[in-house]
């Protein structure tokens, strides 16, 4: 029964990831068609605008022009996420982390597709109110996913529960919490 449920969950993960990657790629395509070589498109003056940018780095343009590093690290990180999704226990905590990891995976793949196809990542969302770096939908998946993962692990899980959770990932106890 647990194995059958796990297979269903992994299938749902795959569907969510495909939809999330599609949404990321379609928004980048629309941004490229409508924004490349054009003036910024103001959504809310002084707050939010669309601003086309070709980013050869990671989030916030860190590690600019280090594509080889991304070509190596992204598949390694995605393989680790897939391993964790497969080993994730069917508990409340496991299901929440499963959901978060699926979005981190989708964001990583969305930006990896750009890097492989274009040698850059298309960014286009800009919060001018706080002069936030230009970003895209995949960046939202990764950033929000990592923040949620830290919040869950730091504030929502006590040491004993976390240790039990790690044991279950390694193949031990399959608890229900």
What does the pLDDT read at residue 176? 45
Cα–Cα nearest to 94, from 1, 177, 163, 17: 177
Cβ pair 161, 93 in contact under 8 A:
yes
| Residue 135 per-residue DSSP state | B
Q: Encode pLDDT of 143-177 as tens digits.
A: 999 999 999 988 877 767 677 777 777 775 444 44
Mean local confidence (pLDDT), 5-17: 95
Confidence of residue 21 (pLDDT cuts 50, 70, 90): very high
Q: Encode pLDDT of 38-74 as tens digits.
A: 999 999 999 999 999 998 876 656 666 667 888 999 9
The pTM assigned to this predicted structure is 0.85
Q: How many Å is the maximal CA-CA distance in the chain? A: 57
In the block, tokens 């393989």 appear at: 79
Q: Encode pLDDT of 88-117 as tens digits.
A: 988 888 899 999 999 999 999 999 999 999
The CA distance from 73 to 51, in Å, is: 28
Catalytic residues: 123, 139
Domain positions in the chain are 2-169
Both tokens assigned to 53 = 């940018």
Q: Is pLDDT larger for residue 140 or for residue 65? A: 140
What does the pLDDT read at residue 59? 61
The CA distance from 140 to 108, in Å, is: 10
What does the pLDDT read at residue 2? 61
């Amino acid at each position: 029964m647990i194995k059958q449920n796990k297979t269903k969950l992994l299938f749902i993960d795959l569907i969510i990831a495909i939809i999330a990657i599609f949404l990321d790629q379609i928004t980048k395509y629309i941004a490229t068609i409508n924004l490349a070589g054009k003036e910024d498109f103001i959504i809310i003056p002084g707050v939010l605008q669309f601003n086309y940018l070709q980013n050869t780095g990671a989030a916030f343009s860190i590690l600019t022009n280090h594509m080889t590093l991304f070509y190596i690290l992204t598949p390694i990180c995605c393989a680790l996420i897939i391993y964790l999704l497969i080993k994730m226990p069917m508990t409340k905590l496991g299901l929440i982390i499963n959901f978060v990891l699926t979005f981190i995976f989708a964001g990583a793949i969305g930006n990896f597709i750009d890097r492989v196809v274009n040698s850059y990542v298309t960014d286009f969302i800009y919060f001018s109110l706080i002069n936030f770096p230009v970003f895209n939908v995949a960046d939202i998946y990764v950033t929000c996913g990592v923040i949620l993962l830290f919040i869950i692990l730091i504030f929502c899980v006590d040491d004993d529960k976390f240790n039990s959770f790690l044991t279950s990932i390694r193949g031990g106890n399959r608890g229900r919490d």
